[in-house]
């Protein structure tokens, strides 16, 4: 197993690092993203009224964004997913005692920082299909199996309706590669790993 210490960054720094990719998305989506993920992490569908209040947005704008980009319960009244979801995918995400899923493998690494809680993640290797498992805290990746796994994340410039398909096509876990961490707009940085 390998533990990797992640730099402590604020939400503003995370958004700044993805600014080029996020600029084209509606401001309402950017404002809703963190409240939606935090609420869904409790394992229950969420009323759009609550999300509108948390994001400081009018209900009609909140609902419009979530109708275009989110997932809803069968009755169409509560949100069940926006990158973190209660709908099964290949990417398992366990947090607060609940099993959830993520749309893509790469995004699951940032959710513990946004939620403020550790999570256990399991996602298939893009090359072999074998499971890659890890525990991710708000500040580090721990218990990585296999220890040589790496993640690739690219968020292309697309509209909300295409976000899931386009982002997931460019996000994958792989069994091994020399450790390089790339944040959008910055040169690659060598990732430091320690055996745990």
Per-residue pLDDT of the chain (196 residues; tens, 9 = 90+): 444 444 444 444 544 555 555 566 788 988 998 999 999 999 999 999 999 999 999 999 999 999 999 999 999 999 999 989 999 999 999 999 999 999 888 778 888 988 999 999 999 887 788 898 999 888 888 888 888 777 665 555 656 666 656 556 555 555 554 444 333 334 443 333 333 3
Contact 84, 37 (CB under 8 A): yes
Q: Which domain holds residue 103?
A: 2-195
pLDDT confidence of residue 164:
56
pLDDT confidence of residue 182:
38
- If you search the block for the tokens 């993920």, which residue do you land on? 37
Nearest to 47 by CA among 85, 26, 88, 76: 76
CATH number at residue 119: 3.30.450.410
Contact 115, 37 (CB under 8 A): yes
pLDDT confidence of residue 22:
59
Q: How many domains does the chain have?
A: 1
pLDDT confidence of residue 165:
62
pLDDT confidence of residue 152:
62
pTM of the model: 0.74
Q: To 10 degrees, the CA torsion angle through 81, 82, 88, 93?
A: -110
- What does residue 49 show for φ and ψ, rounded to 5 degrees? -60, -40
pLDDT confidence of residue 17:
53
State pLDDT tens for residues 140-183.
Answer: 888 888 887 776 655 556 566 666 565 565 555 555 544 443 33
pLDDT confidence of residue 183:
38
pLDDT confidence of residue 193:
33
């Amino acid at each position: 197993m390998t533990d990797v210490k992640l730099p402590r960054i604020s939400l503003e720094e995370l958004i700044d690092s993805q600014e080029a990719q996020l600029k084209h998305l509606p401001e309402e989506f950017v404002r809703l993203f963190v409240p939606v993920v935090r609420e869904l992490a409790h394992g229950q569908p969420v009323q759009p009224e609550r999300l509108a209040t948390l994001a400081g947005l009018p209900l009609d704008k909140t609902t419009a964004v979530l109708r275009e980009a989110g997932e809803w319960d069968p009755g169409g009244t509560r949100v069940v997913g926006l990158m973190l979801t209660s709908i099964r995918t290949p990417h398992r995400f366990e947090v607060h005692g609940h099993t959830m899923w993520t749309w893509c493998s790469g995004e699951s690494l940032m959710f513990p920082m946004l939620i403020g809680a550790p999570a256990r993640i399991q996602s298939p290797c893009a090359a072999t299909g074998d499971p890659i498992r890890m525990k991710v805290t708000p500040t580090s990746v721990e218990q990585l199996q296999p220890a040589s796994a790496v993640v690739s994340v690219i968020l292309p410039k697309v509209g909300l309706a295409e976000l899931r398909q386009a982002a997931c096509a460019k996000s994958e876990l792989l069994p091994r590669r020399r450790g390089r961490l790339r944040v959008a707009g910055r040169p690659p940085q060598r990732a430091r790993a320690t055996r745990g």
